[in-house]
Copies of this chain bind each other. A is one copy, B any other.
Amino acid sequence: MSDHRPDTPACILVRPQLGENIGAAARAMLNFGWHDMRLVAPRDGWPNPRATALASGARDVLERARLADTLAEAAGDCHFTFATTARTRDMSKPVFTPETAVAEARARMAAGQRVGFVFGPERAGLENDDIAQASAIVTVPVNPGFASLNLAQCVLLVAYEWMRQGDAAVRQAPVPASASVAEVTQWATHLEHELDAAGFFFPPAKAPHMKRSLRNLWSRMPLEQRDIQILHGALRQLVRGKAGGG
Residues on A lying within 8 angstroms of B by beta carbon are 27-28, 30-33, 56-58, 88, 92, 94-100, 139-143, 146-149, 152-153, 156-157, 160, 163-164, 168-174, 176, 191, 194-195, 197-200, 213-214, 217, 220-222, 224, 226-227, 230-231, 233-235, 237-243, 246
Contacts and interface: CB of A to CB of B under 8 A. Distances in A.
Contacts of A153: 28, 152-153, 156
A217 B227 contact: yes
Given A146-B31, A237-B199, A246-B242, A95 B156 contact: no
Given A33-B143, A96-B171, A141-B168, 5 more contacts: A58-B146, A92-B176, A100-B171, A198-B246, A214-B230
Contact of A32 (B56, B88, B142): B142
Contacts of A246: 197-199, 239, 242-243
A199 to B, nearest CB: 5
Contacts of A56: 148
Given A241-B200, A242-B239, A246-B239, A95 B171 contact: yes
B97 A171 contact: yes
A200 B157 contact: no
A140 B157 CA distance: 12
Contact of A214 (B169, B171, B214, B234): B234
